[in-house]
Structure 1
Amino acid sequence: MSHKCKQLPDKPLYGGGILKGQEIDYIWVRSWVKITDIESTVLWVVVGTKETCGATVIAREGCWSFVKGGFYLEAPLNTSVLHFEDYNGRNVHIEVASMSLQQFSEEQWRAHQDKAIQQVRKRNSIITVTDRHGAKLQGAKIKVEQISRDFPFGVAISSAILDNPSYQKWFKKRFTVTVFENELKWPSNEPRPGTSNFKTADKMVEYVTRNKIPTRGHNIIWQDPVFAPSWARNLTGERLRQFATNRLRTVMERYKNKFIHWDVNNEMLHYDFYETKLDDRNASLKFYQMAQAVDPNIPLFLNDFKLVESCGNGSNVDGYIAKIREFQRNGIKLLGMGLEGHFFNGVNPVFSRAVMDKFATVGVPVWLTEVDVSLKYGLEKQARYLEKVLREGFAHPGIGGIVIWAAINHQGSCWQMCLTDKNFNNTLAGDVVDKLLKEWHTGKLTGKTDSNGSFSFSGFLGNYRVTVKHPLRRRFKTTVSLSKGVGPQHFQIRTSHKNIEWGMNCRVVAFSGEKVTTVVTGDS
């Protein structure tokens, strides 16, 4: 794959930046690096140890590469020296130029998140009420209530939900998207070669379809041999290819158009099971080409861990961006990127934001797909870390959805992180989720139209129920959809009185810029 070789570094951002003697919780690090003596390698930026890695980049000999990342400081550092090193510990000559540093307090970082949320997850709206002749109605009482969210926010589920009304109620109250924890994986669906078992998966697909819950298809095959069927791990060559191809076609044809995404070959850059066993460096590409042929309208996701969580070697942001572009050049039209988000080495929101920034430039959907925090931190720190991760993801304009990895099994437990106990009482992590869901919801707003017949509000994107009552007219209800766009979104509600109790017809005209949408509703 050819890349344009950058001959000179750009000038340092922000004039280079100076770390002053004030409270520092977050540090942005940006610089340009160039290597010699080796064709290419992964470089990382660390302060002392691997646990304090702040950035990675794939550098190429003789070319300047941009490094972007930083550090979240939970405690004072015992060193102020940044190290630029080869990830694998090899001796490499590294030149560093145009270094820039920026510091932020906790309050400053949070203020930036809140500003970003206001810009990308909310929108200003103006509702104007008129009579059937277009005359604007002043003094009409308005109630605006958000009834659904635009941003997909969900949690994994297990088959335990099928016969547990409490589980179902808990999920439906909070979440709008899901993924099956294990029920769609190859070992579950083909426990013995040639013997299919989709009984549980069928029930779960029927459940989410009946309840209109968008669901990710996770996963078709898995690059880690530990998660291949035990009987398939020692297969090689054509026999493995036949079984893997049959697995892909069987599950995708069975559930065609049932899922919003497909994770085709899970964690493909962390491992190389199929490339090695099939002796084919293009094995993963061929699986994606087969998947596109079977279900061409559904985005095919690349999904991996240690991308947004912490520094990685094989599974790094540059490696996956290169893989996405390789797939696109080879005809894969609908691709997506899943950042799993299993946080086992603390959290570093600066690093996470830098990774999301890079992926956002590629032009494919990017989701946080399996977010959890290790139980080893204890429940309080686990919850605190979870909040930081969720805020960072929700605030980032490049993130299209978030799924938490906290499926509840039949015993009432979870893999690493539960949001409830077995009786569906919140854990501390569950309290965090409920707090954020409330914070990221407009709720109910009330007021009166002004002299222009207008009522203005700022709300989270989604659907709203609008109730209007004027002293000289009867009350009525309608729904409007607050969607992404530039500038305020205008809704014109034109009423026409009907001679029945509780009866009004209204026409809602939603317009922003040059786009106009008309919705006609009947009696309330």
Structure 2
Amino acid sequence: MLQKLEMFSVFFWVFFSCYLVLVDQTLASVEVLKNPDMEIVNFDNNWSCKGGCTLTSSKDHYSGSRSVMVSNRTANFNGLAQNVVVTPGSSYNFTAYIQLLNMEQGAMYQTVETKMTCKGSPGKKQKHSFEIWTRQRQIHVMYIYKFGATVNYLVDDASLQVVEENANWKTEANARIEKIRKSDIDVVLSSASQNEKYQVELIQNTHEFAFGSAVGAKQIVDPNYRKYAQALYDNFEWAVLENALKWRLMEWTKGKIDYDTPINALNALKGNGLEHWDVNNENTHGVYFETATGNPNITNQMFDDAHAVDPNVKIFLNDFGVMEQFASVPLHNQAKFLKQAGVPIYGVGIQSHIKNTSLDIAQMKGRLDMVAAAGLPIWITELSLASNDTNSRASALRDILTLYFSHPAVEGVLFWGFWDGKIFTPEVALFEGPDVTPNEAGKAYQTLFKTTWRTSVTRDVTGDSTFTVRGFKGEYTVKLSHNGKELKQETFKLGSTNQTINIDVGKTYMKLQL
């Protein structure tokens, strides 16, 4: 995992975490490391130095009274290490707090990684960054490294524990969905004829939760792609332009900026009731602007400048490798840093390009929880799930969407394309062919979006009546009919507060009450 640390005159403790994946199995959470809190000042039989370096007990600490100082390093692969025994059929989570004692000369940032070296066949060592597979109990050497060779650092509160599988995760997720994605709608019918029958319809038109996709700016306005556009409008409520608003794509030749392509696409999307937003992209992995300007805090200024131009725009960090790899902690740390610095950041974008259908839900939820701990809303900004087997993809898609929809910090999910005719790889598509027809994964998505997570209720009532419906949050139409004739119709929004709909049959309007 890459952890970007900014250069300050005072160095502070930074949380560091990664997952070591073997295979899924439920095991009790037992600490694997010896002397994980560094309170034992003698490091014999617990911690050691891999390569040329020195370990010294330090009174500087994150918790307790001690940490370990790693110094006198001669290469970037020198670092704190420990031999550990891992068990087959398990997933591990490693965490630690790290404090830099100095920066490498001329560097704005430092990178930290965790690596394991394990014995495979006799006499042969295998190195792995984070992900390892084994079929027998083996001794692995786990070590922290990658800092510049002249950098000294402290480590405290390290931990290596099994991530427990939760067999009841979906039941718990659906319970959270019922609680956080719904509110009550109380319908009160008055001044009705005592023995007359009426019909009340509650129809959800849109979701409060965002379901959307990336789209091609040129295709969305091209009459030859009419079916592509219609599939977008029929199956999604939000859209983001895939590339047309990116600087390099807008200005292939310096000074010649293509505004027309994105503006035409945005106008078409707005005209069909869809909204869009853009993000500050992949900042924990890239330091282009910082390096080019020599300013380690240029990202802060970019957020401030964007907010000054339009204070109504919700500004996001957005990054990859969070759900499928190990960037949850760096993203959490940067989001928290920007928030505490007073930067006008609204939320955090998690791209979520999943390259197989074998999902570890416990790990994924842990990563979501880590990012959410920064205290900002989350959007899943580039969801893709890769598999040539559309049935397998459909099953995994139901699970991952259930996880995202059930998480209280997540406000929306945007797919990174939906049609195999305009997508970065066809094995992630939801729709196929010239008619833009849903495949099994697309049908699974449609069922969730149009049926499972949407409220549509018709009630037959007699005379004055009261009934309650628990509905998904979003915009609704309520209709009152009598003997097949529609008497009145209104729209309303259902949010986190319960909504009361007072229908006076004798009046031409309905009264909506929060």
Identify whether the pair has TM-score above 0.5, normalized to the shorter chain. Answer: yes
Q: Of 221, 237, 245, which residue of structure 2 is paired with 1:176?
A: 237
Q: Which residue matches 1:341?
A: 352
1:372 aligns with 2:432: no
Distance 1:39 1:58, change over 3 A: farther
Deviations 1:416-475 (A, max 9, x none): 52111132011232122112213434353222347872122222112222222458x973
Judging changes above 3 Å, is the alpha-carbon distance between structure 1 residues 281 and 122 closer, same or farther for their aligned structure 2 residues?
same
The answer (yes or no) to whether the contact 2:11–2:99 under 8 Å persists in 1 is no
Q: CA RMSD in A?
A: 4.2
Structure 2 residue 120 is the aligned partner of structure 1 residue 60: no
C-alpha deviation, 1:170, in angstroms: 0.8
Q: Which amino acid letter does the alignment assign opposite residue 493 of structure 1?
A: I
Matching residue of 1:194: 255
Secondary structure of 2:490's match?
strand
2:214 — aligned with what?
156
Code of the aligned partner of 1:147: N
Q: Match for 2:347: what amino acid?
A: G
Q: Distance in 1 between matches of 2:455 and 2:81?
A: 47
Q: Does 1:351 align with 2:382?
A: no
Query: 166, 178, 187: which is aligned to 1:104?
Result: 166
Deviation at 1:216, TM superposition (A): 1.8
Instruction: Please report how far the alpha carbon of residue 332 of structure 1 lies from its aligned counterpart in structure 2 after TM superposition.
Output: 1.6
Alignment of 1:283-432 (within 5 A): 283-310=298-325, 312=326, 316-344=327-355, 346-375=358-387, 378-406=389-417, 408=419, 411-415=421-425, 417-423=428-434, 424-432=436-444
Q: Which has the larger radius of gyration?
A: 2
In the alignment, the residues of structure 2 paired with residue 192 and residue 297 of structure 1 have an alpha-carbon distance, to the nearest angstrom, of 31
Deviation at 1:180, TM superposition (A): 0.9
C-alpha distance in 2, partners of 1:51/1:199? 54
Cα contact 2:348–2:379 (8 A) shared by 1 = yes
Aligned length: 415
User: Pick from 255, 259, 264: which aligns with 1:203?
Assistant: 264
**1:383 Cα deviation (Å)?**
3.2
1:490 has 2:500 as partner: yes
Work out whether 1:444 is the aligned partner of 2:456: yes
**Correspondence for 2:228:** 167
| 1:303 Cα offset (Å) | 0.5
The aligned residue for residue 185 of structure 1 is 246
Whichever residue aligns with residue 432 of structure 1, its letter is A
- Does 2:34 correspond to 1:37? no
**Distance of 1:103 and 1:380 partners within structure 2:** 24
Matched residue SS, 2:219: helix
C-alpha separation in 2, matches of 1:298 and 1:49: 49
The residue number in structure 1 matching 2:471 is 459
Asked if residue 434 in structure 1 is aligned to residue 492 in structure 2, the reply is no
How many angstroms apart in 2 are the aligned matches of 1:143 and 1:43? 65
User: Out of 140, 164, 173, which is 1:113 matched to?
Assistant: 173
Change beyond 3 A, Cα 1:201–1:141? closer
The corresponding residue for 2:127 is none
TM-score by length of structure 1 reads: 0.68
- Partners of 1:333 and 1:401 lie apart in 2 by 20
* Counterpart position of 1:122: 182
State the Cα deviation string for residues 161-197 of structure 1 (Å, max 9, x = none).
2112211211111100011111111121110112212
Any idea what the Cα deviations from partners look like across 1:380-420, whole Å, max 9, x if unmatched? 433333222211101111101100112548x5554352111
Relative distance call for 1:136 and 1:354 in structure 2 (3 A) is farther
Moved more, 362-371 or 450-459: 450-459
- Point out where structure 1 has 5 or more consecutive residues left out of the alignment: 7-23, 63-75, 218-262, 498-504, 512-524
The structural deviation recorded for 1:289 is 2.3
For structure 2, which runs of at least 5 residues remain unmatched after alignment?
1-7, 15-23, 39-66, 72-78, 101-132, 148-152
- Written as runs of structure 1 = structure 2, the 5 A alignment for 1:59-78 is 59-60=97-98, 78=135
1:104 CA displacement: 2.8
Select 1:146's aligned residue among 204, 227, 235: 204
